[in-house]
Structure 1
Amino acid sequence: MLDGLRGLAVLIVLASHFSSAGLFPRPALHGVGKSGVYLFFVLSAWLLARNLLRLPDGALARPHTWLDYALRRILRIWPLYLVVLVSSWLTHRAGHPVLYAIDTASLWRHLTLREGQSVLWSIPVEFTFYLWLPLLAAGLYLMARRGWSPLAQAGAFVLVLAAVMLAWPPSQTIENDVRLGPYLAVFLCGAFAARVDAWAQRSAARPALWSAAGLLALLAWCVAIPVLWCWLLGRPFEATITRNWFLFFGLLWSVLLLSLLHGGQALRRVFAWKPLRWVGLISFSLYLWHMPVLAAMQRLGIPERFPLLAPGLVLAAALAASALSWWLFERPLSGVRIRARAVA
């Protein structure tokens, strides 16, 4: 099911970029891509916070916990990220920038999380969140440990959200900002969803209400599609009109996630669809490689020669390249762990 959500997230990103490239009648879904990235952020925060909060008492104070956490986070991002960066740098030096246009100075800025060309902007954001998550998890753990009521914990969450929004006003966020701060509200929503998930597991199940909340979240996302939102406002199309709705998308995707966990079977079946789950499985590779594949297909003149088939051809090529990338670089490292006895 989580892979199904990842599949939705990456397909939203692809739909936006395919639309901006003219593969779909414009404006189509141009401008929705950021909402897909925010879904990735929510899923990452929820999963990591949930796993840490489920550890037995005392585990958060053990070095092994954080060594294993660090290793898994590094292996999740850096091997494939380095492949993309170095490949881009080498092709750029050879005079054939077929991937991302990364020279030596840009390579260093990417490695030090100070730059992110194209879709690479989200990598510094995501990895910086990994560095701060232990403090966030500790805060959630201590509130529960000291007997704070759900209302008190929710109040603390709202106060922290308000502080974040004041510290990094959405209206002042630049396009593809690589700092964590502007997107912290999205991650906070995902992390707090882990706490709500635990409460929902202990309370009486209300699958109908959760399912209704999930459907409303999907409807809200549809309304927030830039072309539709601009039409509702009666204003010219603006692709970036909902780009800075960080809190909106953080809450929206958190509600959808919780509805899949605690709602009825109908919505779950959609995200349990095997093709969608497979796309989610290779979603990180697909996220990193689809832009170079799209650019290559454009250089080959595919959109002009086969206008009706172009979206499917580009998608098929991107999926093939990403499946190979997953098999070569992601799959071999996915099961690496640090065993407790290894650091005893």
Structure 2
Amino acid sequence: MSTRAPSHSAVASETGRRNRHTSLDGLRGLAALVVVAHHALLTQPSLAAPYYAPDVPTTGLTRWAVNTPVHLFWAGTEAVYLFFVLSGFVLGLAAQSATFTWRTYLPARLVRLYLPVAGAVVLGALLMAVLPRGSQASAWLAARAVDYPALAVVQDLTLLGGVSKVISPLWSLQWEVAFSLFLAGFLSWGRSVHPAGQIGVALVASTWGFFLATPALSYLPLFLVGTALAQWWPDLASRLEEGARAHVRWGVILAFALTLIASYWLLLPSFSSDRLFWMTRPAVEIGVTLVLVAAATWAPLRWLLSAKPFRWAGLISFSLYLVHEPILIAAASLVPGSRWAIVGGVLVAVATAVGFFFLVEKPSHKIARLLGGRRVDGPTESRASVAASHD
């Protein structure tokens, strides 16, 4: 048996893959923080109004926060699109692994999704039972449900029949589960179509879905963008090796991507929202895909997203995504109109997410690894390299 040490290039390649996975963890954490900021700011009347009356002109500081690139810091809807593409990408890569098996994939995947969802439903129901809810301080708060009937609980626990929207972040989990069930079909179709063609079809289908207001057609193609990118990745990554002008090139690409992501809000003051929304969906989807590619490729961005704060946010991101909204609504209802109450609610949500991760999400990982035939006491895997959800 050969005892020759791995070559420098092989070690560098493996290190690069680990760094890419770590940076994608950080990217997921950043996206989860954006979703939390989104809901926290929607408790403010002036910032919620553009979502419910988009054609009413904004003025002053509201216009600055809504219709400029500043909106990127709380672009929650766009962050969820990133979750979808990222899930498709990570699962697409995982399916190419020599250790991947379809026999163990689906049980492990569903455990990773459904156990945390069940925990979030129980927590949300408890919070609604013991804390006030029903603030009219903003249009968003006024639209929140004030009770959680048994039928709604069952709906949220099953997901595939639709969700109650009492805990609104769960709306995206129904599409995560559907995609998990359809992954084999996505990959099978992808073998006969070039990845660029798959991405083109996905963008057209998703745009058509938004035009028709058909959620399945709107959102499931976003996962296809991710699986197509994963299929393309071995060839694409080699073409994206950094050269002498890489930093300038990637800086321009990232700025362009962020502009695409914010395009709806940047153009809203000049166009009617009805057409503008569905017409800007492909731009937003291209934007989040380019951000993902940059996060996995551009060394400075990989380094930033691999820093401890982002890695920590990535670790608890799924838990934070699931638990934060009922806490923020309770904070806004306990002290109506208080911005400090919202700040406190965000801190409580983060602390709760940490506890939720250790008590609910981490055990679900262990069960999933057992179902997948992996030891639970072995080396910790990158969370972006295991079946990704909104974590």
- Listed as ranges, the gaps of 5+ residues in structure 1 are 60-64
Q: Distance in 1 between matches of 2:127 and 2:275?
A: 31
Identify which of structures 1 and 2 has the higher relative contact order when contacts are C-alpha pairs closer than 8 Å and 6+ apart. 2
* Aligned 8 A contact 1:185 1:246 in 2: no
The counterpart of 2:197, out of the listed 136, 155, 169, is: 155
- Give yes or no for the alignment of 1:313 onto 2:341: no
Determine helix, strand or coil for the equivalent of 1:266: helix
Relative to structure 1, the CA distance from residue 88 to residue 266 in structure 2 (aligned partners, 3 Å threshold; closer, same or farther) is closer
Relative to structure 1, the CA distance from residue 281 to residue 241 in structure 2 (aligned partners, 3 Å threshold; closer, same or farther) is farther
Q: Distance in 1 between matches of 2:87 and 2:102?
A: 17
Q: Distance in 1 between matches of 2:351 and 2:109?
A: 25
Q: How does 1:1-344 map to 2 (within 5 A)?
A: 1-22=23-44, 26=62, 28-29=65-66, 32-55=75-98, 65-89=101-125, 101-112=147-158, 113-116=160-163, 117=165, 118-140=168-190, 142-143=191-192, 152-159=194-201, 161-162=203-204, 164-165=205-206, 168-173=208-213, 177=215, 180-203=216-239, 205-206=241-242, 208=246, 209-221=249-261, 223-224=262-263, 226=265, 228-231=266-269, 233=270, 242=277, 245-263=280-298, 265-301=299-335, 303-304=337-338, 307=339, 309-335=340-366, 336-337=368-369, 338=371
Q: Percent identity?
A: 28
Q: Paired residue for 2:6? A: none
For residues 280-308 of structure 1, the C-alpha deviation after alignment (integer angstroms, 9 at most, x for no partner) is 2211111121111111111221752xx3x
- RMSD (Å), alpha carbons: 3.3
TM-score normalised to structure 1 length: 0.77
Determine helix, strand or coil for the equivalent of 1:334: helix
* Aligned 8 A contact 2:222 2:285 in 1: yes
Cα deviation, residue 339, structure 1: 5.4
Relative to structure 1, the CA distance from residue 225 to residue 319 in structure 2 (aligned partners, 3 Å threshold; closer, same or farther) is farther
Relative to structure 1, the CA distance from residue 82 to residue 127 in structure 2 (aligned partners, 3 Å threshold; closer, same or farther) is same
- Listed as ranges, the gaps of 5+ residues in structure 2 are 1-22, 48-60, 134-143, 376-391
Cα deviation, residue 225, structure 1: 6.0
Cα deviation, residue 200, structure 1: 2.3
Q: Distance in 1 between matches of 2:275 and 2:334?
A: 29
TM-score normalised to structure 2 length: 0.69
For residues 92-136 of structure 1, the C-alpha deviation after alignment (integer angstroms, 9 at most, x for no partner) is 6x6868697321222232234223202211111111011111111
Q: Name which of structure 1's ranges 9-18 and 315-324 shifts more when overlaid on structure 2.
A: 9-18
Q: Paired residue for 1:62? A: none
Size of the aligned set, in residue pairs, is: 311
For residues 174-213 of structure 1, the C-alpha deviation after alignment (integer angstroms, 9 at most, x for no partner) is 6xx4xx3221232121111112321123446245144542
